[in-house]
Amino acid sequence: MRLLLQRVTEASVSVEGRIVGRTGPGLLALVCAMQGDDEDVAERMAARMAKLRIFRDEAGRMNRAITDIGGGVLAVSQFTLAADTRSGNRPGFSSAAAPEDGRRLYAHFVAALRGLGLPVETGIFGAEMQVSLINDGPVTIWLDSAERA
C-alpha cells in the first residue's frame, strides 16, 4: 500500500461540484492499494500513519502525531500512486490492486483509522474527484508498505 500524506490546515474533495468529504487541521491521505496487499497491510499502514510524528509540538518541532493533536483525516483513493514511469512517456499502473481489491482495501484502511479513534472523511472510490488543500508547512510524506521490513 502506498500513501502520500500531506499535513493540512484544511482539505476537501468534490465530485461533480459537490463537496463529499473535508477536514480541518490534520492529514490529507492519498491512498493506493497495490497488488499483493491484504487487510493486514491496510491495518499496519493505518497504524503507521496514526503514529507518524509530523505535527509541531510546543517548541515548533515535528514531534506530535495526528492522534496527539486531535486532527482529522481526509482519505482519498488514488490508484495513480502506483504509476510506473521507468520507461516511455506514459505511466503504467499494472502494479495497482485490481479495482475490486482496491475498493475493499481502501475501505478497510479507512475503517482501521476510525478504529484508532481518528475522524475520517473520504472521497468516492473510482470517481473523478477534485481535491483542494492548504498544505501546512508544507509537509508531504511518502509511505510505502514495500519499503518497510
Domains along the sequence of the chain with CATH: 2-142 (3.50.80.10)
Res 149 pLDDT > 60: no
Which are the catalytic amino acids? 78-80
Residue 13, strand partner residues: 21, 131
pTM: 0.94
Q: What residues contact residue 103 under an 8 Å CB cut-off, 6+ apart?
A: 77, 125, 126
- pLDDT, tens digit, 9 for 90 and up, residues 25-72: 999 999 999 999 999 999 999 999 999 999 999 999 999 999 999 999
